[in-house]
Amino acid sequence: MALNNVYQVPGKVKINHALISVTDKTALDVLARGLVHLNPDVIVFSTGGTLKELIELLPEHRERIRTVESLTGNPEIQGGLVKTLDYKIYLGLLTEPYNAEHLTSLKAYGVPFIDLVVVNLYPFERVIQENASDIELARAHIDIGGPTMIRAAAKNYHRVLTLTDPRQYAEAIETLGQNAGCSTLAQRFQAARAAFARIAAYDRAISEYLEKTTETSLGVYRFGEDLIG
């Protein structure tokens, strides 16, 4: 497979479409109100409890706070396990604005550029700190969709701003405000570094937990019928 090297990138990117899905709702009001103050026409895609809280925070912008399903055309399934693992989300995240082939695909599938991703992860580290012996509770708190979106958004720092920690929100809004509601390449790059550091720490915590957990912990499981085929 040929690598896709990119050298032409936008200096500033207006935040017109955001995807926000957070476990930790701290400072969500700062982020949400800041975004609509900078761009009253911003459209936010969200999921579950985050969607509900955003609507409560911004009732006057209800029509611009939309489900991820409205973007993907597919419902949340498997009890919410599968909701953001959809190709349309990754078209919106990974499309390069100066790549004609990418733009054709984006238009063909009716997907907008996603300019901002705000995701924090299931609290795996806290769960294992409080319940180290409960291997199944730990397993259930291994996030899949969150790290995938973060990686895709951070890889495309050419265009996408990625936030993974509530402590970033106020500064991010301030920087956007200094640039007429647009992210800069420097801001996006710095955020990407923090995003990959977060993913690395998260994966390391999972790896170290499994390494330290003995196979005797598997005694919590009951065997059902073997699946054949």
The answer to the question of residue 222 being in a domain is: no
In a domain, 6, yes or no: no
DSSP state of 215: G
Residue 3 lies inside a defined structural domain of this protein? no
Nearest-5° Cα angle at 205, 221 to 210: 30
Over the Cα atoms of the chain, what is R_g? 19
Distance (Å, whole) CA 82 – CA 92:
18
Closest CA to 27 of 148, 171, 157, 127: 171
Q: Tell me the CATH number at 103.
A: 3.40.50.1380
What burial class does residue 106 get, using C-beta atoms within 10 Å of its C-beta: 0-12 exposed, 13-18 middle, 19+ buried? buried
How many domains is the chain built from?
Answer: 1
Residue 227 forms part of a structural domain: no
Name the pLDDT band for 76 (thresholds 50, 70, 90).
low
Q: Examine residue 154 and state whether it is found in any structural domain, yes or no.
A: yes
Q: What is the model's pLDDT at position 75?
A: 64
Q: Where do we find the tokens 């509770």? A: 137
pLDDT mean over 43-60: 94
Model confidence at 80, pLDDT cuts 50, 70, 90, reads: low
Identify any residues that bridge with 183 across adjacent strands, giving them in sequence order: 13
- Structural domain contains residue 64: yes
Q: Is residue 122 part of a domain?
A: yes
Q: Is the pLDDT at 81 greater than 80, yes or no?
A: no
User: Has residue 228 been placed in a domain?
Assistant: no
Provide the domain limits for residue 94. Answer: 12-213
**Total residue length of the chain:** 229
**Four-CA torsion 189, 166, 84, 107, nearest 10 degrees:** -50
- Residue burial 49-60, b: 16+ Cβ < 10 Å; e: rest: ebbebbeebbee
Is 204 a residue whose pLDDT tops 90? yes
pLDDT value of position 214 = 84
Per-residue model confidence (pLDDT) at position 83: 61
Q: Which helix (H) or strand (E) holds 191?
A: helix 185-212
Q: Which of 35-39, 190-194, 216-220 has the lowest mean pLDDT?
A: 216-220
